[in-house]
């Protein structure tokens, strides 16, 4: 299974890569929403994990553009963020986000959620 992780924090990207690759996933990574879109133009993935607060293109706009492309309507997109406000959650859901996980993440729960949304 292929996972695209989109986050401007190199530390979070490293933690995600370690967690996901150890669980048997192939991991592609991007540092902002625009890079994430660029990856999706050339690669197929089974699930996306994205932060919200990023430079260049934030996670909400990234999700909107992924959904607007029409190609990835069924692609699960998990939002992994420090944001906890209901307003942000509502924005994420309205944009087309599939699920919401608050940082710091529990590796076992993250793997469980991925399996739940992909299968």
CA distance 102 to 82: 5
Tell me the pLDDT tens digit for each residue of 60-79: 999 999 999 888 888 999 99
CA distance 65 to 78: 15
CATH 3.40.50.2300 is held by the domain 2-118: yes
Q: How is the chain split into domains, by residue range? A: 2-118
Question: Is it the case that residue 119 has pLDDT exceeding 80?
Answer: no
CA distance 100 to 21: 21
Tell me the pLDDT tens digit for each residue of 83-108: 889 999 999 999 999 999 999 999 99
On whether the pTM is more than 0.75, the answer is yes
CA distance 91 to 85: 10
């Amino acid at each position: 299974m292929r996972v695209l992780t989109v986050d401007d924090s190199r530390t979070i990207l490293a933690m995600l890569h370690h967690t996901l690759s150890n669980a048997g996933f192939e991991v592609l990574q991007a540092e902002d929403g625009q890079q994430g879109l660029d990856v999706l133009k050339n690669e197929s993935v089974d699930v996306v994990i994205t932060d919200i607060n990023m430079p260049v293109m934030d996670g909400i706009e990234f999700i909107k553009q992924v959904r607007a492309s029409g190609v990835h309507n069924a692609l699960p997109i998990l939002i992994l963020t420090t944001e906890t406000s209901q307003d942000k959650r509502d924005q994420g859901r309205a944009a087309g986000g599939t699920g919401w996980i608050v940082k710091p993440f529990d590796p076992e729960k993250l793997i469980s959620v991925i399996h739940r949304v992909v299968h």
